[in-house]
Amino acid sequence: AQRVTQPEKLLSVFKGAPVELKCNYSYSGSPELFWYVQYSRQRLQLLLRHISRESIKGFTADLNKGETSFHLKKPFAQEEDSAMYYCALSGSGGSYIPTFGRGTSLIVHP
């Protein structure tokens, strides 16, 4: 069974500090990993996918198959990064049916 674990319910940092939101997964095959974000009063939206290997809004995430992790990082947090972040996994070869973690609330203080 596939599972996504986000160990932190809440992460609080100051503006300009580095931020790392942790995500660990369990999956027997080759997974596809995603980070979704939900800003206050907005709908859930895709932030980035591991296969794209891109940086979005300064965030990056590297898939570490050895540690089964897909941590989201940003070197200098901004107040507008405050949001709910969800890590999600889907099995490769199928349709995009992600299994979501419970989410981490990121608060960036001025």
Partner 1 sequence: DAGVTQSPTHLIKTRGQQVTLRCSPKSGHDTVSWYQQALGQGPQFIFQYYEEEERQRGNFPDRFSGHQFPNYSSELNVNALLLGDSALYLCASSASRQPQHFGDGTRLSIL
Looking at 32-108, list the stretches that DSSP marks H as alpha helix, in order from N- to C-terminal side: none
Query: C-beta of 8: minimal distance to partner 1 in Å?
Result: 13
Indicate which single residue of 10, 28, 95, 110 sits in contact with partner 1 (rule: CB under 8 A): 95
Q: Which is nearer to partner 1, 12 or 45 (CB)?
A: 45
> Is the Cβ–Cβ distance between 21 and 102 less than 8 Å?
no
- What letter does residue 59 receive in the DSSP assignment? B
Residue 101: CA count within 13 A, CB half-sphere:
29
Give the Cα separation of 13 and 43 in Å (integer): 23
Stretch 10-49 residues interacting with partner 1 (CB under 8 A): 34, 43-46, 49
99 binds partner 1 (CB under 8 A): yes
Q: Which of 35, 59, 70, 101 binds partner 1 (CB under 8 A)?
A: 101
